[in-house]
């Protein structure tokens, strides 16, 4: 009996087909994996910061009794929301409002949509910031201490899921959470922040990543409120 085997041409054709399939599928798998990792980080942070908020309220009273003042009127750390939350989360570096080194040196230049986003956070006294023990960066922008559970929030928190690494883009690796009277809500989760300004900038993308585990909104260039 004669032994049969693949010819060189048949082997090369087979390898070529495998290569084409891999080129098509591997980028999709990698993208889905990155989104899954981002969603996991956002959910982990949401649990962390929500628990910190509950503990801060237990020790300091409701948020309307906190000494919160708009970032435009006061740059003292004691008037910022992060001042009340930091004691209940683990950080490896707390930059407060004046120290540098917790955020990228460059400005966050881009958003996912038509509304521009340019925020210099590192060293900007408008923002309090810190590095969490897993390397993520948290920053805060305080509005006031008068808020309900709908409508205008008391403050906004932003999480950079990969620290100072790029692309430093709102809705891609920088995500928003809003602080209300009795809760902290992921951006986009029925929080009354639904103007075109926020939709087209990317502030409302957080809930889509957390609960849908996709970033299809990047192609659309906007994030509608999550439903």
Query: How many whole angstroms separate alpha carbon 130 and alpha carbon 119?
Result: 16
In order of 132, 202, 211, the CA distances from 116 in angstroms are 27, 10, 26
What's the pLDDT tens digit per position in 162-180? Answer: 988 888 888 999 999 999 9
pLDDT score for 26: 62
What's the pLDDT tens digit per position in 10-63? Answer: 677 777 777 777 677 666 666 788 889 999 999 999 999 999 999 999 999 999
Query: How many whole angstroms separate alpha carbon 43 and alpha carbon 49?
Result: 10
Taking the mean position of all CA atoms in its chain, how far away is CA 177? Answer: 8
pLDDT of 153 higher than 80: yes
pLDDT score for 28: 66
pLDDT band at 120 (very low <50, low <70, confident <90, very high): confident
The pTM score is 0.86
The sign of the torsion formed by the CA atoms of 146, 144, 42, 172 equals positive
Kindly tell me the burial class for residue 42, based on how many C-beta atoms sit within 10 Å of its own C-beta (0-12, 13-18, 19 or more): buried
The arrangement of strands across the sheet holding 184-186 comes to 91-96, 128-132, 137-142, 155-160, 174-179, 184-186
């Amino acid at each position: 009996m004669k032994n049969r085997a693949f010819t060189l041409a048949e082997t090369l054709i087979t390898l070529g087909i495998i290569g084409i399939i891999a080129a098509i599928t591997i980028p999709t798998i990698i993208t889905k994996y990155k989104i899954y990792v981002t969603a996991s980080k956002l959910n982990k942070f949401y649990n962390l910061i929500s628990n910190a908020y509950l503990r801060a309220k237990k020790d300091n009273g409701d948020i309307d009794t906190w000494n919160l003042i708009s970032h435009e009127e006061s740059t003292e750390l004691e008037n910022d929301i992060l001042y009340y939350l930091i004691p209940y989360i683990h950080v490896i570096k707390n930059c407060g409002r004046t120290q540098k080194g917790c955020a990228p040196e460059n400005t966050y230049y881009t958003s996912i949509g038509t509304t521009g986003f340019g925020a210099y956070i590192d060293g900007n006294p408008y923002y309090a910031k810190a590095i969490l023990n897993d390397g993520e960066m948290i920053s805060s922008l305080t509005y006031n201490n008068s808020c309900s559970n709908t409508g205008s929030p008391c403050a906004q928190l932003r999480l950079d899921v990969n620290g100072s690494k790029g692309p430093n883009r709102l809705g891609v690796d920088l995500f928003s959470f809003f602080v209300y009277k009795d809760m902290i809500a992921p951006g986009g989760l029925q929080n009354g922040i639904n103007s075109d300004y926020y939709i087209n900038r990317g502030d409302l993308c957080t809930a889509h990543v957390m609960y849908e585990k996709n970033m299809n909104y990047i192609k659309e260039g906007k994030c509608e409120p999550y439903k």
